[in-house]
Amino acid sequence: MAYTQLEPINEGLLSRLSDLLLCRWTCRNCCQKCYDCSCCQSSEDEVEILGPFPAQTPPWLVSNRSDEKDGDSDNATTSEPPPTPQDRRRSSSDTSRSTYSLTRRISNLELRRPSSPLIDIKPIEFGILGAKKEIVQPSILRKPYTSDDYFRKFEPRLYSLDSNSDDVDCLTDEEMLAKYQLGMLHFSTQYDLLHNYLIVRVIEGKDLPPPISYDGSKQDMAHSNPYVKICLLPDQKNSKQTGVKRKTQNPVFEERYTFEIPFLEAQRRTLLLTVVDFDKFSRHCVIGKVSMPLSEVDLVKGGHWWKALVPSSQNEVELGELLLSLNYLPSAGRLNVDIIRAKQLLQTDMSQGSDPFVKIQLVHGLKLAKTKKTAFMKGTIDPFYNESFSFKVPQEELENASLVFTVYGHNVKSSNDFIGRIVIGQYSTGSPESKHWRRMLNSHRTAVEQWHSLRSRAECDRVSPASLEVT
């Protein structure tokens, strides 16, 4: 639609009458036009509401600007006299009329413009295409947990290695004795601050149960042969043990043992006393145990306790450990073996522990080649040997060689008592033995030492063919 351009309003009576008729706003006090009346002038804030104007200049203003530019260029050549006060008043009046006329024309154009349709625009959601929208649930106010509440959620009995520990913690000694009927143990403890060691005295046992027979023809079903093993948890390797008391359910030990340990470290340990039934012809069976945290007692003052025995998760005792050193000389074709020491061997003698010795047997493939043995150490379960042996093994036969180490308890009246065995070499009895053999092969002319835990005869015969070839 084309709009006609309006001519600028001129001064004169006709112009004033037309403007008065067109103007909707006149002052009732002075009957003047709104843009001439001083009492009806709009404030600066009201004038700013009319803006801002469109960025594009309307076509009906372009011609006026071009005319003004032509007029300015023509007037620029002639000098103009300085404006008078009347001219200044007249120019301000023209400016006000022009602003008012411009506002009226823009408002008329806005009224003629067709209304825009209403469009419902949804907000744009940014995210990965194809991903599922996660439904957010309203958060529920919960009571904050304190540190005490947090640890109350755990039940220590569920994480205990002993299945009966939950009953033990909540029962007295009288209740445990009546429930398990494993007897009681009398012992004492005291710490010597002058010499920095802990003294543990095993005094006696009472009302021990009769033994469980694994071989009825050889086991005395009426009496036990008990002894006690003592250790400070978590260290179970450096343990002590009493002598075996023959055929009694009320043994009297009266044996005293010392542990060299700092006082602060002793307070962090737990004293474990395990009562074991000795069986020469079969395995040793655990009757029961007593455990006491040393932090709960006065170690310096010391004390005596009668404690009820409780079941143990360990049904069999360990057979002991053996320290060996291996060395191979390729140029001489010699395999050197050093038997250094053993510790915590299983007792085979009721009176003085054991008289242990070690037998070393060389096996080529599945054939016994050579047998040697150490001297026996009388009345000990922690023997020191420090004996060396040499076997001639060519380098091409080394890969097929196996060494069988068997610990026996010396017995004069009958056959020697088997304690434990391991096999090192081609038919090793376990990963520790295989590792020791590989270290020796990779370290020619260098002695390699390692501790080994002894195994039962049945276990060795099951995993190592070399064990079956020796006696």
Strands 356-364 and 367-373 turn out to be: antiparallel
DSSP-H helix ranges across 197-336 = 263-267
pLDDT digits (tens, 9 = 90+) for 263-281: 999 999 999 999 988 776 5
pLDDT at 89: 53
Question: How many whole angstroms separate alpha carbon 373 and alpha carbon 158?
Answer: 49
pLDDT digits (tens, 9 = 90+) for 203-257: 999 999 887 654 444 445 668 889 999 999 888 778 888 888 888 999 999 999 9
DSSP state letters, 377-400: PTT-SS-EEEEEEEEE--GGGGGG
Say if residues 392 and 331 touch (Cβ distance below 8 Å): no
pLDDT digits (tens, 9 = 90+) for 178-195: 787 889 999 999 999 999
Give the 3-state secondary structure percentages of the chain, helix then strand then coil, rounded to 5.
25, 30, 45
Say if residues 256 and 240 touch (Cβ distance below 8 Å): no
Among the residue ranges 13-17, 101-105, 113-117, the one predicted with the least confidence is: 113-117
Give per-residue burial for 453-463: e unless 16+ CB within 10 Å, then b: bbbeeebbeee
Q: Is the pLDDT of residue 83 over 50?
A: yes
Q: Counting runs of H as helices and runs of E as strands, what totals does the chain give? A: 11, 16
Mean pLDDT of 275-300: 84
pLDDT digits (tens, 9 = 90+) for 381-400: 889 999 999 999 999 999 99
pLDDT digits (tens, 9 = 90+) for 296-326: 999 999 999 999 998 887 666 678 899 999 9
Question: How many whole angstroms separate alpha carbon 461 and alpha carbon 452?
Answer: 17
pLDDT above 90 covers what percent of the chain?
Answer: 37
pLDDT at 48: 43
Global confidence as pTM: 0.52
Average pLDDT over all residues of the chain:
75
pLDDT at 286: 87
